[in-house]
Structure formats: C-alpha cells, structure tokens
Structure 1
C-alpha cells in the first residue's frame, strides 16, 4: 500500500484510499480485505466501490474487485510517460536483440524507481521488478543512476534515512553509497551486483532530455553468466539515443 495520506472524510480521499490499497501483486481484493486496508467502514466502502465500478475504475469479480479498464485508458494518456515510452520502446527492443537479456526503463518517484517498461525473453532473469512496480533507489542500478543525478536534497534524504537490506550485498551504509553515486555521476553508468535480489546483476545509464535526467535504462541478467560491464557501452548508447530522440521530438512539437 502507498504511504501517502488521503483525507478519509472526502469522496476523493476514499477513492484514492481504495486505489492505493491495491499493490503490484494484487489482481483481486475482497470487500473485507479492502475494508481492512483502507479502514473505511464496510457500508460506506460498499457505496464507494459501487460508484467506482459504475465508471469502470473497478471491475467486480466473483471474489471481489480488481482495477478497471478506465484506469488503464487514463494512464496511457499521461503525456510525459506516454511520450517517453513511445520513444524508448524501439531502443529497448534493439538493446534486447543485442544482449538477449532483460531490459528495463524506469523513472524516479520520490525515493523509489517506478518501472515503466520491461522487455525480456525466455531466458530473462528472475528479477523482482514489474511494470508499474516500485523498488527503492539505493539497491538497483536504475535507482542509483537516477539518484546520482537527482537534486542534493533528495540525495541527502536517501543517505540520511534507513537503507533497508534486501540481500547480503545491499549497500546499507551512506558512505559507500555516496562514493558510488559520485562515480556514477562521473562515469555515466551504474551497476548493481546482487543488491536487490540474489543472483541478479545489472548495468544502467541515464536518459537525458536536454540537460535533465528524465529516466534510466538498464540490462539485467543472472550473475552466473551475465557480465554487466561488457554491455555498458550498449546501454549508454541506447540511453543517449532515447534522449536525443526525445529532445528532437519536443522541438518539433514546440
């Protein structure tokens, strides 16, 4: 569930509480589970769910409710993310053909990475990432790349806060993480070595639109056979291609 706070006394607040009750792992939630997660009284919640189902924000199933098609349609109209995806997908596909490993595109949201796209074949590594899912910035290659190019306030927030351990190799001390972020900013590429999940290694590079880093792209593979450093140039080239195409597209639209 989201850590965001919504006003439970307003209709909009209740709707947002329901929507954020769904996690990336949930396909369907029962009325009882939604009541538990939102703390909205069941009578009130039932009316809210009925109104949301009427406009297809939710769909009723035999066991409860799932997120509806209206949310997908609206999500695809989000101009920034849609434009980024339209430009990035061909470069991601080229990168997959070149590496035959899992390719990710992610953006920064608070202290998390949100994954906008993921391309992988039959050999793809069993990574914890999912489209629309989140991971903390400190333990993924994409996250560290984005954090390395973020403003100083966000960087200080991450470094001064707790750095949860996900594997024995997760960097949980601010000093080593800060040193790595400086190196990423200087070299234009970042790595993960089994920091978010055991058996997973990754290389990522920033996507720049003009001078601003708007996303990052990565290639992920299993540690027993994937050498991320050998693909750094390809990942960096894909990131640069996306950035150049974004800038050209925006100039034409302007």
Structure 2
C-alpha cells in the first residue's frame, strides 16, 4: 500500500520555515542549525534542504547553506513596479542617447547587485546586460558605488566575504567624486561608470551606470565624456524620487 501524497500546502509551509531561518546577520547556516531553527525532524530537514539546493533556492557555502541566487532573480521580478524603476526608464533612454552606450539600473540584494532596467546601445559593437543578471558587489563600478554609499552593503560584504572588502581610501574617493569606474574587472574588454541614486530619505536605493567596450571606455576617456552624463542621470532619478541635496 502506497503512502498518501504529502499535502502541498504543508510542504510549502515547511519550506517557508527553512527559508526564514536565514538572516542578514547569519546568512550561512549548517544543516543542524536549520533543523533547530525550523523545528523540523532531521530527515525532513535533510530531504527538503537537498531539494532546495537542487532547485536553486539554496546554495552550498562550504559546509553550510545560504539563500540561492535563483531567489535573487525572482525577487527582482517583484521590483518591476518600484518607483525607482519607473522613474529611471526615460532617463536611461536619455543616457543611452547621450553616450551611445548601454545604460543600466541596478539594485542591491544582500552581497549582490542585480540589473533591473536597461537601455541598449544602438552601436553594432556594444556590451549588454540582461535584466535579472546577478553580479557581486566587489567587482565593477556599480558594486563599488553601493559599497561606498551604503553602509549596510559594506556590513553585508564584511559578514559573508571579508576578504573581498575594498580599501577605505577608494570608497572615500568614490563618495567625494560621486561616481566609480571599472575597467575589465569583472570580465575582459568590458568597462563601466556608475553613480548612486538616492530616495527622499537620502538612502541609496539603486545605482545607474553605463557599460561599454573598453576600447571606447577606458581610463583616458572616462571623464568627463562619460562620467558627467552618468552623474547627471543619477541626480535626475534621485530628484524624481524626492531627493533634495
């Protein structure tokens, strides 16, 4: 006689219990810690965690587990109605026309940044980032901007990957000038310039930037031909969100 099928609602409830175990303060947990916090039997915890890993809900992190990147990608879909994205779309189009390069809007999720809106370069040779692309904070100009202007981003990175923390002098320089650049840090032949977007409380809610081939965007051409339009775009989006300097 076969066992009755598990109630899907009850299974989802148990999955929710497991996912709720993870916090910003403790992003990585052992299987034993998950079982204890979720209050589930050991066999149930092990089976569900294995399934969550196979489906991308959780990722292995050494001997422990952490929230998976698949969850970050889905979370971005929920941001499509955010005011910052609506405010940014026409400004991204203008930034693309000004620079003739792809313009991008990023938001932060834990120690990652994710593309939430883009305007593609009209040039035949260009660099394009798809909406939903997830990247680390410590590489690339947008990540540097988040780390320079967002204290919570710095704390998150120090918690999960202290070896990837950026020098304080570099972050201070970015805060003073209001933008960051990156030349072939994340991948070859790709460069970028980014600037922070603030809400009406003065909190960093996004980063706007451009990505381009390093043959066109490099240390010799980064300022002011590219940096000025990016900083202006960030200021316009911030103003649309009610930020007043």
**TM-score, normalization by structure 2:** 0.63
Deviation at 1:173, TM superposition (A): 6.2
Does structure 2 retain, via aligned residues, the 8 Å contact 1:206–1:239?
yes
Determine which of 226, 233, 236 is the counterpart of 1:231.
226
Counterpart Cα distance in 2 of 1:133 and 1:185:
25
Deviation at 1:126, TM superposition (A): 3.5
Q: Where does residue 121 of structure 1 map in the other structure?
A: 121
- Pair 96,16 (structure 1): closer, same or farther in 2 beyond 3 Å: farther
Deviation at 1:186, TM superposition (A): 1.4
- Pair 36,75 (structure 1): closer, same or farther in 2 beyond 3 Å: closer
Counterpart Cα distance in 2 of 1:85 and 1:156:
25
Which digits, 9 at most, give the CA deviation of each residue in 1:98-143, with x for residues without a partner? 111011100111111011012113435345x421121011102111
Which digits, 9 at most, give the CA deviation of each residue in 1:171-223, with x for residues without a partner? x764x633221111111111111111110111100011231111110011111
- Pair 103,160 (structure 1): closer, same or farther in 2 beyond 3 Å: same
Does structure 2 retain, via aligned residues, the 8 Å contact 1:145–1:189?
yes
Q: Where does residue 179 of structure 2 map in the other structure?
A: 189
Secondary structure at the aligned position of 2:242 is classed as helix
- In the alignment, structure 1 residue 200 sits paired with structure 2 residue 210: no
Q: Where does residue 143 of structure 1 map in the other structure?
A: 143
Counterpart Cα distance in 2 of 1:235 and 1:208:
14
Counterpart Cα distance in 2 of 1:102 and 1:118:
7
Secondary structure at the aligned position of 2:211 is classed as strand
Deviation at 1:159, TM superposition (A): 4.6
Counterpart Cα distance in 2 of 1:85 and 1:160:
29
**Greater helix fraction, Structure 1 or Structure 2:** 1
Q: Where does residue 155 of structure 1 map in the other structure?
A: 154
Does structure 1 retain, via aligned residues, the 8 Å contact 2:193–2:230?
yes
Does structure 1 retain, via aligned residues, the 8 Å contact 2:103–2:121?
no
Deviation at 1:154, TM superposition (A): 3.8
Segments of structure 2 that go 5 or more residues without pairing to the other structure are 1-9, 19-50, 57-73
**What is the number of equivalent residue pairs in this alignment?**
182
- In the alignment, structure 1 residue 219 sits paired with structure 2 residue 210: yes
Counterpart Cα distance in 2 of 1:190 and 1:119:
20
Counterpart Cα distance in 1 of 2:17 and 2:126:
34
Counterpart Cα distance in 1 of 2:204 and 2:110:
15
Segments of structure 1 that go 5 or more residues without pairing to the other structure are 1-8, 18-33, 40-70, 164-171, 249-254
Q: Where does residue 131 of structure 2 map in the other structure?
A: 131
RMSD value over aligned CA atoms?
3.5
Q: Where does residue 95 of structure 1 map in the other structure?
A: 95
**TM-score, normalization by structure 1:** 0.61
